[in-house]
Homo-oligomer: A and B are copies of this chain.
Amino acid sequence: MKASELGERKLIELLTRGLYTNKRVLAGAGEDDAALISFGGKELVAKSDVMFSSTHFPKGMKPEQIGRKVAVANISDLAAMGASPLATLFSFGIPPQFDVNKLRGIMRGINQVCMEYNAPLVGGDTKKAKELSICGIALGEIGRGEAIRRCNARAGDVVAVTGEIGNAALGLMILLKGMKSGRYPKLVNAFLNPSARVKEGRAIAKCRVGATGMDITDGLLFSAGEIARMSGVCLSLDSGRIPLSKEARKFAKEHNVKENYLLNNGEDYELIVSIRRESFEKVKSRVEDAGGALFEIGKALRGRGVLLDGKKIDAVGWDSLKSSLA
């Protein structure tokens, strides 16, 4: 069978089945946003996210933006676990003809993110390859038992997100269709210059209230589905409460983009969380103290899957093996 027939998620399921593990692994392959490993009285969080020029970098992306995107994508999974960034590594596949100045630009973009999140680039590798590829690795640390997992949601929880949904997906659409972006700087900027929700993740983790969460880079509905699946609950979302920007509403109306497109497409580095109702106000105020926000968008119920305004939805999310940017 070909990899594309199986798709990314089934492939991962197949490839990670029955792998060797040991007692220090608290969350292993395919189990959460990042790996969680017991280490010297704390927990080590590790995540790798790889991108390829043919799939992930639309034309017109500047080298600094490519670097920023790869770095933020990796840091975002630390944020989703509630970890403090510790360090990053980046391994490059480089076509021999590739321009060195562009590589330097990519490194500037990466290094800028490393500074912002205090996660120094400590290593990596460079090898010849057919296309530009960048494999990022983010390492973080977290106190014992603090990690925000995907599997702790319970019926009755409040479901919330850390910010506006869909800006980046529309920004990518603008870039891919070669539309003029001047009227929608916020949308394009959300795609090209993303940030990771580290301070929000840390604030939530430090509350130690058994919060559940992940980032929504593969789409809000897909992530809701993942939390529902891993926690054995149903996530019921209220579309009227999902924060959309003025620009996103305007662009969607003008270009006849359905709201579901915003909820099904990724590239936003916001977090979706599920938190016990009795803890929610406290957690929300801690996140606000850290300079962030939490918007209630629904609740967890007994059952399975995801409801949007009471209707069952099937969220497949982005699958790079089945899809392509072009």
Q: Which residues of A contact B (CB under 8 A)?
A: 1-6, 8, 11-12, 14-16, 19-22, 24-25, 27-30, 34-35, 37, 39-42, 44, 46-52, 54-56, 86-87, 89-101, 103-104, 107, 111, 114-115, 118, 120-131, 133, 135, 137, 139, 141, 320-322, 324
Complex: how many Å from CA A89 to CA B118? Answer: 22
Residue from the list B2, B37, B50, B123 in contact with A96, Cβ < 8 A:
B2
How many chain copies does the complex carry?
A: 2
Question: When A3-B95, A111-B19 are in contact, do A37 and B86 touch as well, CB less than 8 Å?
Answer: yes
Contacts of A128 in B (CB 8 A): 4, 52, 54-55, 320-321, 324
Q: Is the CB of A25 within 8 A of B99?
A: no
Q: Is the CB of A37 within 8 A of B321?
A: no
Q: Closest B residue to A77 by CB, please name it.
A: B123
A–B Cβ pairs within 8 angstroms, 14 of them? A2-B97, A11-B94, A11-B103, A20-B111, A20-B114, A20-B115, A21-B120, A22-B120, A25-B122, A30-B123, A37-B139, A48-B125, A55-B129, A129-B131
Q: Is the CB of B104 within 8 A of A14?
A: yes
Contacts of A40 in B (CB 8 A): 39-42, 141
Contacts of A8 in B (CB 8 A): 126-127
